[in-house]
Amino acid sequence: MKQLKVTTQFLKHEDLTGKADPFIQRLDRMDEHHKELHTFIEKEFRYSEGKIITQAIAAIEQRLSQQKQASSGTKNAMETLAEQYSQHVNTVSFQEVTVYYEEIERIGTP
């Protein structure tokens, strides 16, 4: 029995890195909302004084900083994962196929 090994591409190459875009857009909107809230609170507290106000402003600043770090890290992770996903899908679109066959002798044909 003879065999023939061939690498076959079953799917066309696809760029799937855009899969992360909708999620990143939502994160961007969330960042905008956080900034708007921060600006609003700053305006409200602008003419206020006291220990509670100072602590509130410090807590808000800390939360905003944490949110920015989390958002940035998540965006980077999504971009990296989308790239890895795209590479994986395009890698598995190629498969090695082995065909086993027997040659049949034809009698009486030139």
Tokens representing residue 17 in the block:
């890195």
Return the pLDDT at 49: 87
What residues contact 9, with CB distance under 8 A and at least 6 apart? 93, 94
Q: Confidence class of residue 19 from pLDDT cuts 50, 70 and 90?
A: confident
Residue-by-residue DSSP string for 7-22? EEE-S-----GGGGHH
Return the pLDDT at 109: 63
pLDDT digits (tens, 9 = 90+) for 36-78: 998 998 898 888 889 998 899 899 899 999 999 999 999 999 9
Return the pLDDT at 110: 62
Return the pLDDT at 93: 85
Q: Classify strands 94-101 and 2-9 as parallel, antiparallel or unpaired.
A: antiparallel
